[in-house]
Structure 1
């Protein structure tokens, strides 16, 4: 499911990427646009927040190209254009768009519309949602780590088991050569290794 935020602006007052980045730094976020990001491109691009890369779509549109805005209880007469920011399931992208929107409010008095719900977002509401996006991302990362942990633990146990078995084979072979034990014991260990290997191969 994709979501859309529309930032109403005056084309003559649109800040550059460098100006946006500088303003965002004053908000206390480690944010940057990557080289392929173009605010006027119907493509969007990559950006980074706290070292995490994401992608957002950006469409530059004239106000008259938007759907009927008469139902929106907001004065938009002084705005001639808008940015349409679109993101999907990645909450980092949502955080980036909120941060960019705050910077647009600060730099050019932009008005922000959450199009999906026809809700206007002021600066405070956007700032309050950014930590929620970041926490959602952190929660997702923690879940991934919890899923990976049992697999990593299982692999570690399997490696230790293999080391023990092969060590046992070497030791029993040495003892057999010294005629301390009979050949039956290393043969049994070797048979166990072969059977275990066949079972593991069939599981793949």
Structure 2
């Protein structure tokens, strides 16, 4: 697979929904497991709740190899997972617990701001510059749609991602530390980063 064979588009084709969910869960499953420990139940929620048009897709020969979700115009890649879905899939107690945990990860865009909602690349496609190119596609989308900055959060246990964002021009604007929650969350701090456009 060569970098020039990768094509990028706004929106994940519906036939790739299952692959996109697997990619997202592979990248963020550990964090999402705090809300919904059972992987199959997480995936079932996303079958209904993924907004495929709120992402950039990277494709090779028609196969999905990477995604970059974003939050814009009132919806995000994962905003289709509603409270009613949590209750119907998980029951009252587990559904309410999941809703509380998911609310901790919620990020609402400010005016003229596009918020990234996760980036994931299949393991066999890593090292080809796909992650960097997905960031470029996010920046282009933001420019075309009149946003003046892109914001994302990166956890302290993912220094490779932070380095990628910094190389791309993102700068840290705020760091929140909560070491007392590290044993529960799996990370003890989050840095908010911005890219000015």
TM-score by length of 1: 0.29
**Structure showing the higher helix proportion among its residues:** 1
Comparing both structures, which one devotes a greater share of its residues to strand? 2
TM-score under structure 2 length normalisation: 0.30
Larger radius of gyration: 1
